[in-house]
Chain A
Amino acid sequence: MLRALRLLAIAPLLATAGWETVVAPPALHFPRDHGAHPAFRIEWWYVTGRLTEPGGRWYGFQLTFFRQGLDPGPSVPGESTLRARQVLAAHLAVGDVSSGRTRLAERVRRVAGGLAGASTGDLDLFLENWTMRRTPEGTIVIAASDRGTATDLRLELTPAKPLVLHGEGGLSPKGPAPGTASVYLSWTRLDVRGTLAIDGRAVQAQGHAWFDHEWGTSQLGFDVAGWDWFGLRLADGRDVMLYRLRREDGSAASESAGTLVEPDGSLRHLTAADFKLEAKTWWTSPRTGARYPATFHVTVPLAGLDAEVRPLIPDSELDARGSTGTVYWEGPVAVAGSAPGEGYAELTGYAASMAGRF
């Protein structure tokens, strides 16, 4: 979903002139559309998941690649080989549920000079030695490590359900104006295995993950301050994606939406009226002073879902001012109530409004 869209800090506010916009359900061709769409200004590939090591310890992990277009025009003869038309940023976050620690590593590089690149043929991204690739067999392989935080992630992710096209055939409106929309695709449930290290301690682990791929140019309505996003995998085999776009005054925008994915992969689109999110408790960051909702009461009547969504690591605030210029909360959650489960939540716009950022 909208997860992220955090405009890269190094890119000034850019006009949409020259960029394509998403106005109609796209004609999608795979594997090409797993790759990058440089005609659009913003794009990201987002993997979040929960891993368990044989001893029983739990971990949350996140690896995201953001692509920010700088210049939609073609290259000019005689220009510098370091002249970039887009930049890639990436966030690598690993949280240890038992100790409550989260480590974030971030990077940003221009797509030039062999520093970073995004294939337009299939999912094939690299940012220096951080990579996210899709094999011909359909497995997604991710690898990223950071010396400073002694974090390392080497995982193989195999989709357990078909690809989900959110909204109308992948068209996901985010604001009332035409073109204020994105193409939004997900694998809501993937089987994961591989190795993970946090603070220098490496473990073999396995679990489940969620994959999002989204692109567009002008995605948010001008008065949206932030969003609350949930990707939940229920124990009964269903998956639920929900996002609420928050206006500056705290109310939910009518473009807020969701998707219910049945165990067999069949979809049900959810509109703003189909679900309710209610913050029950709050958590205040000791570093930024930002106040985030902690526990949510989530109801989706037509799915018979009435549950409490609770963070597994209360302090999952990620300070990414060194790459995308944003501070947000993103971490693993547990679902308890009518249908138990687990998943990831992303809460943005609490440290600073996202309005006008893209």
Chain B
Amino acid sequence: MAGTFFPQRFASVWDRVLIVDVALAQELFGKVGRLDRIELVPRPGVDEARLAAAARLLVPPDVTVEPPQARAATASRMVRALQFNLTALSGVSLFVGAVLVATTLATSVVQRRGVLALARSLGASRGQIARSLLAEAVAIGALGGALGVAGGVLGARAALASVRSTVAAVVRGVPATEIQLPLWLAAGGLLVGVGVSFLAAILPLAEAVRTPPVQGLVGERPAFLRRPSRRRAAAVASAFAVLAVALARAPAWDDLPVAALLASMALLGVLLTIVSPVLDALARHAAAPFARAAEGTQIRLAIAALAAGRRRASWGAGAVGVAVALAVAIGTMVHSFRATVIDWTNQGMRADVWIRPLAATTGVQVGRLDPEVVQVAERLFGKDVIDPFHTATAYVGTQPITLAGGEFAVVARRGGVTFRDGRDSRTVFAAALEHRAAVVGEPFATRFGVREGDTITLHAADGTLTRKVEAVFYDYSNQQGMVVIDRHDFLRHYPDDGPRELALFLPAGVDPAAARDRLLAALGGRFLVEALLNRELRAEVVAIFDRTFAITRALQAVAAAVAVLAVLTVLFALLGERRRDLALLRALGGTRLQVGGVVAAQAALLGVTGACGGLAVGLAIGFVLVKVVNVQSFGWTLRFLPPWPSLAVTAALVTVACLLAGLAPALAAARMHPAEALREEG
């Protein structure tokens, strides 16, 4: 070992890199006389384009000369889309957090109405009250930000450990990648926490400052809280809805689904606007059936109480709704994606055995199969059951894409690929073989605006390649775009240095496991390959999928927890505000059970309202995520498949959780001493 190096960037990749002299590398990899890449570092002030032009004259025609950004750009597109979507989702979580902070502060204001009013009447200025409440908001934000940063680091560590364990299971000695928390990120997290809670404090603050001290002291309902105008709410909600539709139809901005995600935010706006009138309507109409029944008393009282504190209640229901909407939207998106992919693998993965170079389970495939592997397989099973799949990089203009070569004759007999126009895959491949046409993946078609029957021109290694597009197939494996031509066509343009993978379609009655063992025995351990059976590969696809979306599932859990917390804080706030009413109820002969029941009923109503609103809006957002965001980010068309049973369970669970969350305040209400409460208020 001559030395160790400490790369500053891309640590996870470079962690496993060993650098040897080019001569040793050529000998080790059997590539004497060949180089993969030559990097030119221009002197300062040298024009890159002119350098590239000069270099082009020096190298053979099949060598690509490109500036380094071109390669990095393609690799980073997918990472950028993923990052953007994750950032957007965490933005929505922040929004939910802000609603929660607003409710908490509202609670705190309500609980101390008397104290604040007393302070005002004793000479405290509005400014002093405002400052103390703002200080409270900042403290909550700072504490939350600090907890969030710490939790984020722990979460990242846990996530990394789970990923690494699967990698390390295959590749021994994969070193640990450090979790790095730059100071600016920690400070940024704190700042976001403080900023969000500061903004959330504005509404409760306005209420606290504007409530006249006398009113606060007598404990009457705030007079300025007018009945919400249903007409105005409907107008605002419609405006939000129209905005959402317009944004969802807008094109991607710089390859990022910015407009579509703003549309999701607008949909949340719809939810928050309609919650208040809906609760109001519930208060009026839902109480009617119970009007005459003696058992209906609690419900009527609960609805009346909710209506009285409707602003608070609408915040609570809004928080529940936003959280449910988030959970539903993510659940719908993941389920649609997963169901589509499973369908696609069931349809498209018909081969019995796949052979590919041994790779770590990082999802990144490297290397090629040795051409000898193909020859061995041909000798064992015959040419007509083997589909070697070659890939190379070609260009549309300057944009790199994947050009692949498959054995069309074999695939035409076996079928299985799903095409966008619904044609049978046997027909498509037979026609493609006959016309020397290409089939292209959906991401390619989306990216370059190509339709069935169009003619495409690619820059391949030995010049341009013009082919008719026979059909567009669904492709969830590749995001930069793939064009598949017949293998024999492909090998006319590229040397046969081995396929990327090899699919084996065995005749009926042949045991795939036995066939795999025969092949591996014939290869005799001379090649580093792995051979997967049909069910193994399909299980692997689903496993990779679930791993990729583990983080979104975690967000779903966070959203549910937020919903419960929101209900809890809102109920305590309502309880504080309605102490006197509840005490009156007790004084008039209401039992502890009845008083507790009133509070619990409030909780259930909040939960139901939030859950139903959240469910509806969540489905709408899920639709936008599936049909707009995914297409714009990855070029993948997914079917909209909401997981109905689990959505119903989610809504029910949230309602139940809200009811359970209501138990604590209900208990507190039941234990309240009526005389004391009334005296205090008097």
Contact = CB atoms under 8 A, between A and B. Distances in A.
B34 to A, nearest CB: 10
B26 interface: yes
Interface string A67-85: 0000000000011111110
A83 B27 contact: yes
Interface in B5-63: 21-24, 26-27, 32-33, 43
A112 B23 contact: yes
Looking at chain A, what size class is its interface with the partner chain?
10 to 19
Contacts of B43: 147-148
A80 B2 contact: no
Contacts of B22: 80, 82
Interface string A141-161: 000000110000000000000
Nearest to B43: A147
B23 A83 contact: yes
A250 interface: no
Nearest to A82: B23
Interface in A71-124: 78-84, 110, 112
A79 B2 contact: no
Contacts of A83: 23-24, 27
A79 B30 CA distance: 10
A12 interface: yes
Nearest to B1: A12
Given A12-B2, A147-B43, A84 B32 contact: no
Given A12-B2, A147-B43, A79 B27 contact: yes
Interface in A303-351: none
Nearest to A11: B2
A156 B24 CA distance: 40
Contacts of B23: 79-80, 82-84, 110, 112
Contacts of A78: 27, 32
Interface residues of B, number: 10
Contact of A81 (B2, B21, B24, B33): B33
B150 to A, nearest CB: 44
A325 to B, nearest CB: 12
A346 B21 CA distance: 33
Contacts of B27: 78-80, 83
Nearest to A10: B2
A84 B43 CA distance: 27
B673 to A, nearest CB: 81
A82 B2 contact: no
B638 to A, nearest CB: 49
A61 B182 CA distance: 49
Contacts of A84: 23
Interface in A13-72: none
Contacts of B2: 10, 12
Contacts of B24: 80, 83
B37 to A, nearest CB: 14
Nearest to B25: A80
Contacts of A81: 32-33
Contacts of A80: 22-24, 26-27, 32-33
A13 to B, nearest CB: 10
A336 B507 CA distance: 99
Contacts of B26: 80, 82
B41 to A, nearest CB: 13
A83 B26 CA distance: 9
A322 to B, nearest CB: 14
A15 B131 CA distance: 77
Interface in B226-265: none
A38 B33 CA distance: 25
Nearest to B34: A80
A320 B92 CA distance: 57
Contacts of A148: 43
A82 B33 CA distance: 8
Nearest to A78: B32
A128 to B, nearest CB: 15
A78 B28 CA distance: 11
Most buried by A among B23, B26, B27, B43: B23
A81 B27 CA distance: 10
A41 to B, nearest CB: 18
Contacts of A12: 2
Nearest to B28: A80
Interface in A173-225: none
A12 B2 CA distance: 7
Contacts of B21: 82
A67 to B, nearest CB: 18
Interface in A265-296: none
Nearest to A76: B27
A10 B2 CA distance: 8
A148 B23 CA distance: 29
Contacts of B33: 80-81
A80 B26 CA distance: 6
B528 to A, nearest CB: 22
Interface string B356-398: 0000000000000000000000000000000000000000000
A81 B35 CA distance: 12
B4 to A, nearest CB: 14
Nearest to A79: B27
A110 B26 CA distance: 15
A7 to B, nearest CB: 13
A147 B43 CA distance: 10
Contacts of B32: 78-81
A321 B571 CA distance: 72
Most buried by B among A80, A110, A147: A80
Contacts of A82: 21-23, 26
A81 B26 CA distance: 9
Contacts of A147: 43
A10 B23 CA distance: 15
A10 B21 CA distance: 11
A158 to B, nearest CB: 36
A110 B23 CA distance: 11
Contacts of A10: 2
A101 to B, nearest CB: 21
A81 B33 CA distance: 7
A112 B21 CA distance: 13
A28 B26 CA distance: 39
A76 to B, nearest CB: 9
B36 to A, nearest CB: 13
A84 B21 CA distance: 10
A80 B24 CA distance: 7
Nearest to B27: A80
B25 to A, nearest CB: 8
B28 to A, nearest CB: 10
A148 B45 CA distance: 12
A223 to B, nearest CB: 26
A81 B22 CA distance: 10
Given A79-B27, A80-B22, 10 more contacts: A10-B2, A12-B2, A78-B27, A78-B32, A80-B23, A80-B24, A81-B32, A82-B22, A83-B23, A110-B23
16 contacts: A12-B2, A78-B27, A78-B32, A79-B23, A80-B24, A80-B26, A80-B27, A81-B32, A82-B23, A82-B26, A83-B23, A83-B24, A83-B27, A84-B23, A110-B23, A147-B43
Interface of B: 2, 21-24, 26-27, 32-33, 43
Would you list the 10 A-B pairs with minimal beta carbon distance, nearest first? A83-B23, A80-B23, A80-B26, A82-B23, A80-B32, A80-B27, A82-B22, A12-B2, A79-B27, A81-B33
Interface of A: 10, 12, 78-84, 110, 112, 147-148
